């Protein structure tokens, strides 16, 4: 663990609010594979934006933390206790991709981090940047922020292989006690979804919409089939919104029954859509959607599908957020074949850094990052992934692309 500016101060979290000093200590996990390349590029861009926005009055004191293969080589652990303790103190961190260790033990370091800190909301904003090659006629119509539940649903890790003792015993219980018809030798999985887990995720999505002047929050579920899990997710969302946000939120039903279809100014509309229909809606009527709140599996599919609509995962940012701890991260993996080649697109981690600056309330710096990235893309000197699909695109390295972004500020 190394801190480059020791005069930094820790961020604190009190009564649901972060207090951000002018020189916050922020954790940085470069990650594996292409991680160090995109982290160096990102740091260059974020430091330049903060310097430019606040003329030296604010600065981030990065504390570099060990995780992944390098940490394993040094300490024998992929996710050292020291790193977890540091993040707990820093409250905000940014990370590059981490490879999933093979050979058992940890399922995925990313999942381990999410579970350890109960980072229950995976937040993925998806919008179009002009000039990014993409398959749509009007890619700019899509501008959504996806809140995906991170801890429950079929991702909870409750599954047993076909023929295992656990699957057989559970199968016997289901057949005998619940009179369920089940083929013998079936593999079994459990899909837990709780009122608490659902409400806290939907609450975060609504609060985000309020804080960021968004107009619609859509709960995406498959409640027509899975009534007691996905259907309940949606119902718990409506119950919570009525109890906690009645001044700020109206439901689609209330819009019709109480307001004759006239949307009261300033109110956020809460509605829901069945997941399969939502995939069509996002292609056919993307401008009607704004903030999406989804269970774990729906959110996983939807966020990649949305990213594809605006040009792919290469520049899709993300964050995993709990109550009091937030980790911002690139949404792609470690792309091992490009490791150390200074070649790949740092856009995903840079935009995750922009999300982090916004989250810290440093919106001026966040805006500088986004505008400069947009300008650099329009300049057509871009990394290989974009250059090869752009008319007149010229390939530059990861670090050169970052310096072009800085120059565009
Ligand atoms: P990947 O995202 O690492 O790479 C797939 C391909 O996408 C690459 O070969 C490359 O062509 C392209 N690509 C990825 N990032 C790019 C970038 N920034 N710029 C340009 N092109 C880019 O997916 P994978 O190969 O399935 O996974 C490799 C490793 O990453 C695995 O160990 C996996 O577990 C891990 N992983 C980690 C995360 C994470 O840390 N959040 C996410 C996904 C996968």
383-392's contacts with Cβ under 8 Å and 24+ in sequence apart are 383/314, 383/343, 383/344, 383/345, 383/346, 383/347, 384/343, 384/344, 384/345, 385/312, 385/314, 385/344, 385/345, 386/132, 386/133, 386/314, 386/345, 389/133, 390/131, 390/133
Ligand 1 atom closest to residue 349's alpha carbon, by position in its atom list: 18
**Centre of ligand 1 from the C-alpha of residue 334, in Å:** 4
- Active centre residues (catalytic): 155, 222, 276, 300
Percent of the chain with pLDDT over 90: 89
Judged against a pLDDT cut of 60, whether residue 3 lies above it is answered with no
pLDDT at 100: 83
With 0-12 / 13-18 / 19 or more C-beta atoms within 10 angstroms meaning exposed / middle / buried, residue 14 is exposed
**Centre of ligand 1 from the C-alpha of residue 330, in Å:** 10
pLDDT at 106: 64
- CA torsion 97-1-359-326 (nearest 10°) is 70
CB of 333 closer than 6 angstroms to any ligand 1 atom: yes
Residue 191: CB atoms within 10 A of its CB come to 18
Judged against a pLDDT cut of 80, whether residue 167 lies above it is answered with yes
Please state whether the predicted TM-score (pTM) of the whole model is above 0.75: yes
* Residue from 330, 331, 332 whose mutation best tests the ligand 1 pocket (most atoms within 8 A of CB): 332
CA-proximal residue: ligand 1, atom 7 (nearest): 335
pLDDT at 155: 84
DSSP string, 327-348: EEEESS---GGGTTSS-S--HH
Q: 322 by DSSP, 3-state: which?
A: coil
DSSP string, 124-150: EEEE--TT---S-SSGGG-EEEEEEE-
Q: Over the stretch 229-277, which tens digit does the pLDDT of each residue have?
A: 999 999 999 999 999 999 999 999 999 999 998 999 999 999 999 999 9
Any residues with CB less than 8 A from the CB of 159 and at least 6 apart, and which? 187, 188, 189, 190
**Centre of ligand 1 from the C-alpha of residue 189, in Å:** 27
Could you tell me how many residues make up the chain? 409
pLDDT at 311: 86
**Centre of ligand 1 from the C-alpha of residue 203, in Å:** 31
φ, ψ at 291 (rounded to 5°): -115, 130
Mean pLDDT value across the chain: 94
CB of 344 closer than 6 angstroms to any ligand 1 atom: yes
Residue with tokens 């935009």: 351
Judged against a pLDDT cut of 90, whether residue 178 lies above it is answered with yes
Ligand 1 atom closest to residue 98's alpha carbon, by position in its atom list: 40
Ligand 1 atom closest to residue 96's alpha carbon, by position in its atom list: 40
CA nearest neighbour of 265 among 245, 250, 279, 281: 250
pLDDT at 312: 78
CB of 153 closer than 6 angstroms to any ligand 1 atom: no
pLDDT at 111: 85
Ligand 1 atom closest to residue 31's alpha carbon, by position in its atom list: 40
- Mean local confidence (pLDDT), 105-126: 89
CB of 282 closer than 6 angstroms to any ligand 1 atom: no
- Mean local confidence (pLDDT), 160-165: 95
pLDDT at 103: 62
CA-proximal residue: ligand 1, atom 42 (nearest): 333
CB of 403 closer than 6 angstroms to any ligand 1 atom: no
**Centre of ligand 1 from the C-alpha of residue 249, in Å:** 39
CA-proximal residue: ligand 1, atom 13 (nearest): 335
pLDDT at 105: 60
CB of 335 closer than 6 angstroms to any ligand 1 atom: yes
CA nearest neighbour of 174 among 186, 161, 158: 186
pLDDT at 285: 96
CA nearest neighbour of 254 among 237, 234, 268: 268
CB of 98 closer than 6 angstroms to any ligand 1 atom: yes
CB of 97 closer than 6 angstroms to any ligand 1 atom: yes
Judged against a pLDDT cut of 60, whether residue 56 lies above it is answered with yes
* Residue from 38, 334, 386 whose mutation best tests the ligand 1 pocket (most atoms within 8 A of CB): 334
Percent of the chain with pLDDT over 70: 97
- Mean local confidence (pLDDT), 45-67: 97
pLDDT at 1: 58
CB of 314 closer than 6 angstroms to any ligand 1 atom: yes
Report residue 302's pLDDT band, with 50, 70 and 90 as the boundaries: very high
CA-proximal residue: ligand 1, atom 44 (nearest): 333
**Adjacent-strand bridge partners of 185:** none
Query: Each residue of 306-326: b (16+ CB within 10 Å) or e?
Result: bbebbbbbbbbbbbbbbebbb
Q: Over the stretch 339-384, which tens digit does the pLDDT of each residue have?
A: 999 999 999 999 999 999 999 999 999 999 999 999 999 999 999 9
Least confident of 53-57, 104-108, 165-169, 273-277: 104-108
Tokens found for residue 48: 């330049």
Judged against a pLDDT cut of 90, whether residue 291 lies above it is answered with yes
**Centre of ligand 1 from the C-alpha of residue 179, in Å:** 44
Judged against a pLDDT cut of 60, whether residue 320 lies above it is answered with yes
- Mean local confidence (pLDDT), 96-111: 79
CB of 36 closer than 6 angstroms to any ligand 1 atom: no
pLDDT at 2: 56
pLDDT at 4: 53
């Amino acid at each position: 663990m190394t801190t480059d500016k020791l005069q930094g101060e820790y961020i604190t979290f009190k009564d649901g609010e972060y207090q951000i000093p002018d020189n916050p200590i922020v954790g940085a996990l470069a990650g594996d594979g292409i991680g160090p390349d995109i982290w160096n590029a990102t740091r260059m861009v974020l430091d330049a934006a903060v310097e430019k926005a606040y003329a030296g009055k604010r600065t981030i004191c990065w504390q570099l933390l060990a995780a992944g293969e390098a940490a394993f080589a040094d300490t024998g652990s992929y996710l050292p206790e020291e790193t977890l303790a540091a993040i707990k103190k820093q409250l905000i961190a940014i990370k590059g991709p981490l490879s999933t260790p093979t050979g058992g033990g940890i399922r995925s370091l990313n999942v381990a981090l999410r579970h350890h800190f109960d980072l229950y909301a995976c937040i993925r904003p998806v919008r179009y940047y002009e000039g990014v090659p993409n398959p749509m006629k009007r890619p700019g119509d899509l501008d959504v922020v996806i809140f995906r539940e991170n801890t429950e649903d079929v991702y909870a890790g409750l599954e047993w292989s076909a023929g295992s003792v656990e699957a057989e015993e559970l199968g016997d219980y289901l057949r005998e006690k619940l009179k369920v018809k089940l083929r013998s030798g079936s593999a079994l999985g459990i899909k837990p979804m709780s009122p608490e887990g659902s409400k806290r995720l939907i609450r975060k999505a609504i609060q985000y919409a309020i804080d960021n002047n968004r107009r619609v929050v859509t709960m995406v579920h498959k409640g027509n089939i899975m009534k007691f899990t996905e259907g309940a997710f949606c119902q718990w969302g409506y119950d919570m919104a009525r109890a906690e946000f009645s001044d700020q939120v109206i439901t689609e039903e209330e819009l019709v029954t109480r307001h004759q279809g006239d949307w009261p100014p300033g109110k956020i509309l809460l509605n829901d859509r069945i997941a399969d229909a939502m995939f069509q809606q996002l292609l056919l009527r993307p401008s009607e959607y704004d903030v999406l709140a989804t269970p774990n599996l729906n959110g996983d599919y939807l966020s990649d599908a949305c990213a594809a609509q605006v040009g792919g995962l290469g520049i899709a940012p993300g964050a995993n957020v709990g109550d009091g701890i937030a980790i911002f991260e690139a949404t792609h993996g470690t792309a091992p074949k490009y490791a150390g080649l200074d070649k790949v697109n740092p856009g995903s981690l840079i935009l995750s850094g922009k999300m982090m600056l916004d989250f810290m309330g440093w919106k001026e710096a966040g805006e500088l990052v986004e505008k400069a990235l947009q300008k650099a893309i329009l300049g057509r000197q871009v990394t290989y992934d974009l250059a090869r699909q752009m008319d007149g695109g010229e390939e530059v390295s990861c670090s050169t692309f970052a310096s072009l972004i800085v120059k565009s500020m």
